[in-house]
Structure 1
């Protein structure tokens, strides 16, 4: 029986809920906005299946990386619509062309994030782009299993813990499954995101979003959100990506930019990147670096401007880790620009490889104030604000680190 004593021991994958034969496990949201399993012990038969599929209790052995690549999709439109190099959409198109099914994260009608599947390319497109909120898996594992048993090709994309849980749930290898995870910084609280959305739902919230925000002067009333992009590259490029909200209002086009912040100026992104409201299990991740047994791992190839400057055009370069022969075979069929790289070079610039992340020192204080604090953006700003001493200390530390790296190489 699943009993969560320490919240760091649950990644919120929902595998236990889907595998329970008595349907006696449900996911409940805690005060930090994360979902955890709760067991109805009057229905539980203590079969142990929930524990067998848990990626924390049953952690697979790590698989070594076979090959490391820097990648760009040759289709410029697809690459610009992606967060980095346009790798996901290339895989998705290949699977859809073979009458397959693609699973990924999308926004629901309330602009929260959930996992779903699509059998069409139009349905896949909303899965493109990063979404810095933990997605609700729902019944995705059981749905994927059904398609796999029918002989359909399935592409399942998710965080390392979600892919680890998927493989544990399936309990066998399927040749028609292509699993893809990504280098994960950690998943932020859906509860925090929900509250941030509430603040964005009024005109005053957009106006007060930040001094560097761009607000359409044509908007005179409460706007309706029609699109959110955490990683817009069209305004300031890939490295200086923007958090953009688009929407409509009376006398305004439906694609009007309601809010545009460079990522390091946006309050929500500030808190996320400062590790203020990640899921507790993310601070000591047990599913990274080969544990998930994904066929491929995708990410941004940060640092490509230093490693391969001629390959960088600030429109996005993807990092691809080929982990299995199956993954390599599918990747080799794609029309991509490719440069061979090394794991050590990739690890130098991407913090997503880190399994242990230091929790923000004001994490507990943030959540203590979170429920009753009226202005979330202000709370985040107060939480992440650094004194001049801390800023100077961090700069000196980074300079020493860079000197050490240069001497080493």
Structure 2
């Protein structure tokens, strides 16, 4: 007999329940459409630890920003190769240079996982946007151990994972030495999506050493530094992602899609920036600070901080107001995908006009009739 830690299909995949379960009775089940933390009741001793740690069962306190900026790293080379303004990398580099430990997401051996960096070289592995869910299994106890040994830790990740970490270590342990930075997340799919998509292209994700979803400011899947598709054309995975149709079910009722945040700093793209076209092309980050600790970190990290209109920033980042609205063709997309295991078929069936337009553009770009930009 099995049951779930939280409401069916609402699991964020934070995996905090796995780490508090002393009987190994919990497994995260990934159905492609949704995650669920499933309890094996034959192993369960009804201690209730998993239910207590779950962020869906007892939400964590969030705060409105105290200050807000747009800007970029002052390291021109880093900004050039970053997908936005390079702020996350600037924060991480400053932190390790001053004796701290950074925890963030990396792509390794075909998986998206969280790892730790204690050197500038290690930080480089965190670079790049990841448009799938990362697996945080195993990080909570390690971070709590660092904190109990008076080590400073900077966590950069999804807001639901930041919330889980804050609950796991406890508010008191998080006050001084834990610095939390969350991303403005518009929703995230199961990593099985990208694995399936690459299989459709006769690529094995295990053979990919470096996987990126953006080429600087351009949305484009890059495998080992090479573009997978025609420049300027969106492939099926990115079409699904950019149209919000391949996220897991919980993302459409996300508890963190609002201006109030659970972290010290929130970062994302500064969409709708009123700065010059040249600066926008170079990459601009949006930064919201919820705590004085977060503001001090920003000010010390070699980041160009420029005033930004918060109302305008929120208007261009709907995730600071409400979760992504589930597309009407969501179920059709997954029905076709689960039936055929073919990403092109699923996107063609659910985003027909958009899919066909990209096929036409692919031909026109190859014939040099239209620009790839």
Q: TM-score, normalized by length of structure 2? A: 0.87
Change in 2 beyond 3 A, CA 1:4/1:60: closer
The corresponding residue for 1:272 is: 241
2:90 is matched with 90
Mapped partners of 1:109, 1:308: distance in 2: 40
How far is 1:185 from its partner? 0.6
1:319 aligns with 2:286: yes
* Aligned match of 1:230: 213
- Distance (whole Å) between structure 1 residues aligned to residue 210 and residue 37 of structure 2: 31
**1:161 Cα deviation after fit:** 0.8
For 2:86 and 2:323, locate their aligned partners in 1 and report how far apart those are by CA, in whole Å. 28
1:6 aligns with 2:8: yes
8 A contact 1:2–1:39 mirrored in 2: yes
Would you say the 8 A contact 1:81–1:128 is kept in 2? no
Matched, 1:160 2:159: yes
Aligned residue among 213, 216, 222 for 1:245: 222
Is 1:245–1:258's contact at 8 Å kept on the other side of the alignment?
yes
Cα shift readout 1:329-369 (whole Å, capped 9, x = no counterpart)? 11111222221123212112123324232212121122222
Give the Cα–Cα distance (whole angstroms) in 1 for the partners of residues 199 and 321 of structure 2.
32
- Counterpart of 1:312 in 2: which secondary structure? helix
Runs of 4+ that moved beyond 6 A: none
Aligned partner of 2:365 in structure 1 is none
Aligned to 1:403: none
Q: State the partner residue of 1:190.
A: 191
Shift in CA distance, 151/61, structure 1 to aligned 2, threshold 3 Å: closer
CA contact (8 A) 1:17 1:26 kept: yes
Counterpart of 2:339 in 1: which secondary structure?
coil
Residues in 2 aligned to 1:34 and 1:361: alpha-carbon distance in whole angstroms: 17
2:60 matches 1:60: yes
Choose which of 316, 326, 342 in structure 2 pairs with 1:375: 342
Match of 1:359 among 326, 331, 353: 326
Asked if 1 retains the 8 angstrom alpha-carbon contact of 2:101 and 2:116, the reply is yes
Show the counterpart of 2:358. none
Distance 1:23 1:225, change over 3 A: closer
Residue 120 of structure 1 deviates from its aligned partner by 2.1
Further displaced range: 263-272 or 340-349: 263-272
Structure-2 change in CA distance of 1:348 and 1:277 (3 Å): same
Query: May I ask how many residue pairs the two structures share in their alignment?
Result: 349
Q: Aligned equivalents of 1:263 and 1:294: distance in 2?
A: 35
Residue 310 to residue 5, structure 1, CA distance change in 2 (3 Å): closer
Structure 1 vs Structure 2 CA RMSD: 2.3
Report the Cα distance in structure 2 between the residues aligned to 1:335 and 1:13, rounded to whole angstroms: 31
Gap change, CA 1:264 and 1:70, over 3 Å in 2: farther
- Rounded to whole Å, the distance in 2 between the matches of 1:270 and 1:61 is 35
Partner in structure 1 of residue 369 of structure 2: none
CA distance in 2, matches of 1:6, 1:119: 38
Residues 258 and 50 of structure 1, relative CA distance in 2, 3 Å threshold: same
Please say if residues 65 and 260 of structure 2, whose CA atoms lie closer than 8 Å, have aligned partners that are also in contact.
no
1:20: which partner in 2? 21
Q: CA deviation at 1:42?
A: 2.4
Is the 8 Å Cα contact of residues 71 and 303 (structure 2) preserved in structure 1?
yes
Residue in structure 1 matched with residue 308 of structure 2 by the alignment: 341
Conserved 8 A contact 1:164-1:292: no
1:127 aligns with 2:146: no
In the aligned structure 1, how far is the partner of 2:136 from the partner of 2:168?
13
5 Å matches for 1:30-109? 30=31, 32=32, 34-109=34-109
Give the equivalent residue in structure 2 for 1:252: none
How far did 1:27 drift? Answer: 1.7
State the Cα deviation string for residues 120-168 of structure 1 (Å, max 9, x = none): 2222212111100011111111111111111111111111111111111
Q: Bigger CA drift: 291-300 or 126-135?
A: 291-300
CA distance in 2, matches of 1:109, 1:225: 8
Runs of 5+ in structure 2 lacking a partner?
A: 355-373
User: Would you say the 8 A contact 1:59–1:287 is kept in 2?
Assistant: no
**Structure 2 CA distance for aligned equivalents of residues 326 and 144 of structure 1:** 18
User: Aligned in 2, Cα 1:83/1:283: closer, same or farther, shift over 3 Å?
Assistant: same
The alignment partner of 2:210 has SS state of: strand
Q: Is the 8 A contact 2:100 2:152 kept in 1?
A: yes
Q: Is the alpha carbon distance of 1:263 and 1:151 closer, same or farther for their aligned partners in structure 2, counting shifts above 3 Å? A: farther
